[in-house]
Amino acid sequence: DTEVTQTPKHLVMGMTNKKSLKCEQHMGHRAMYWYKQKAKKPPELMFVYSYEKLSINESVPSRFSPECPNSSLLNLHLHALQPEDSALYLCASSQEIYRGTNQPQHFGDGTRLSIL
């Protein structure tokens, strides 16, 4: 079982809906990440949070809005998505992101999102 928990596992939404993806970890990690994975492709980084502050935004469209309310939780708010946004959205966490402290990222099982 993964130590990073994502909810919901599946989500179907229309292009005018607003929904949120949630991610939780209790490993004491201080860095959290959102990735997007299309079918038969590798995960692609979207956002990185370090100590609850946004550290990296990989030029993600504003219809995706991340939020880190505390060190254990990471949300991804969705609004006015397009059909091409249908994908598996993965959350990951790691101990921290400072240089010299390379640690692996641990992934949840993702939310499979379908946009109608």
Partner 1 sequence: GESVGLHLPTLSVQEGDNSIINCAYSNSASDYFIWYKQESGKGPQFIIDIRSNMDKRQGQRVTVLLNKTVKHLSLQIAATQPGDSAVYFCAENILGGAQKLVFGQGTRLTINP
CB 52 within 8 A of CB 105: no
* CB neighbour class for 62 (10 Å; exposed up to 12, middle 13-18, buried from 19): exposed
Least distance between partner 1 and beta carbon 98 (Å)? 5
* Minimum distance of partner 1 from residue 106's CB (angstroms): 6
Distance in angstroms (rounded) separating the CA atoms of residues 110 and 76: 12
Asked if 56 and 68 count as a contact pair (C-beta separation under 8 A), the reply is no
Can you give the binding site for partner 1, defined by CB under 8 A?
Answer: 2, 4, 6, 31, 41-45, 48, 50, 55-56, 90, 92, 94-110
Measured from the CB atom, is 91 or 115 closer to partner 1?
91
47 near 60, Cβ under 8 Å? yes
Decide whether 36 or 78 has the Cβ nearer to partner 1.
Answer: 36
Q: How far is the CB of 14 from partner 1 (least distance, A)?
A: 24
Choose between 16 and 40: whose C-beta lies nearer to partner 1.
40
**Cβ of residue 113: shortest distance to partner 1, in angstroms?**
14
